[in-house]
Amino acid sequence: MRKVLLGTVVIALAAPAAAADLAPRPYTKTSPAVIPIYDWTGFYVGLNGGGGSAHQCWDVVNAGGFVIAPPLAMGCQNATGGTVGGQIGYRWQIANSVFGLEAQGNWGNFKGSNANLAFAGVQDEAKFDAFGLMTGQIGYAWNNVLVYVKGGAAVVRDKYRVYDFGTGLTLNNGSETRWGGAVGAGLEFGFAPNWSVGVEYDHLFLSHRDVDFFSTGIVGVPVGAFAGTARIGQDVDIGMVRVNYRWGAPVPATY
């Protein structure tokens, strides 16, 4: 019995010393956090929708073949309405700077009218039914938030008519495709690896153009006969919400 107790005491005294001689447990470093950086580089396509106003002022410069000099004011109007369309483009990101090229095409339903100041009882009506933009972009990105400005060329499609106020009958009409310039600015937010949503404002400078009008036959002249020419100045303001899908994905970076 004495030998058993003595052996137990020896083991108890030796255990702490043996534990002290064990090598320390290795330290395992925690993996660094991986934070994705949103990269705006790549091709993208998208849809847009919004509304706006086409401001126009008309002056008559020819009436039935007779030149009006100086031109006689016919009045101004704001053709308002909605628009839907799409865009396609490419962006390059260098550090926080973003550069891009974009083409956009939209259908529109902007419509307005005014009382003709030169001819009593007559209304002038305009319909802005399509436009396209070809622009360059310069922007600055804070990860998945992009602010940009843009500028370039614009083309619009307008339809016009002059009608009798009492009956609503069209007396003569005209149409044109007009080129001009465009400037704009936008804010875009990347809400998923390849998706972004944003808002954009554009102003179109379309200057003045002479537009020929042709008779509908109601006023006693043959259908399609030359009725006169109006000098029409036009500027357009448009606001849109845009959604884009981009080919590419955020670049992972460690911090």
Q: For the segment 62-88, what is each residue's pLDDT rounded down to a tens digit?
A: 999 999 999 999 999 999 999 999 999
Beta-carbon contacts of residue 51 (< 8 Å; ≥ 6 apart): 80, 81, 82, 83, 238, 239
Q: Cα separations (Å) of 137 from 41, 54, 129, 133?
A: 13, 24, 25, 12
Taking the C-alpha atoms of residue 35 and residue 58, their distance in angstroms, rounded to an integer, is: 58
Taking the C-alpha atoms of residue 210 and residue 232, their distance in angstroms, rounded to an integer, is: 6
Backbone angles phi, psi at 76, to 5 degrees: -125, 160
Q: Is the pLDDT of residue 2 over 50?
A: no
What's the first-to-final CA gap in the chain, in angstroms? 65
- pTM, to two decimals: 0.82
Q: Quick one: CATH architecture of 39-250? A: Beta Barrel (2.40)
Q: Is the pLDDT of residue 4 over 80?
A: no
Q: For the segment 216-225, what is each residue's pLDDT rounded down to a tens digit?
A: 998 878 999 9
Give SS3 for 123.
Answer: strand
Joined tokens for residue 186? 């936008």
Pick the more confident residue, 11 or 56.
56
Question: What is the model's pLDDT at position 213?
Answer: 97
Q: Cα separations (Å) of 193 from 40, 105, 107, 202?
A: 10, 26, 29, 27
What is the band of 10 on the pLDDT scale with cuts at 50, 70, 90? very low
Q: Compute the mean pLDDT over every residue in the chain, rounded to the nearest whole number.
A: 88
Q: Is the pLDDT of residue 31 over 60?
A: no
> What would the mean pLDDT of 145-158 be, rounded to a whole number?
98
Question: What is the model's pLDDT at position 248?
Answer: 74
Pick the more confident residue, 152 or 20.
152
DSSP state of 31: P
Radius of gyration of the chain measured on its C-alpha atoms = 35
Q: For the segment 192-206, what is each residue's pLDDT rounded down to a tens digit?
A: 989 999 999 999 999
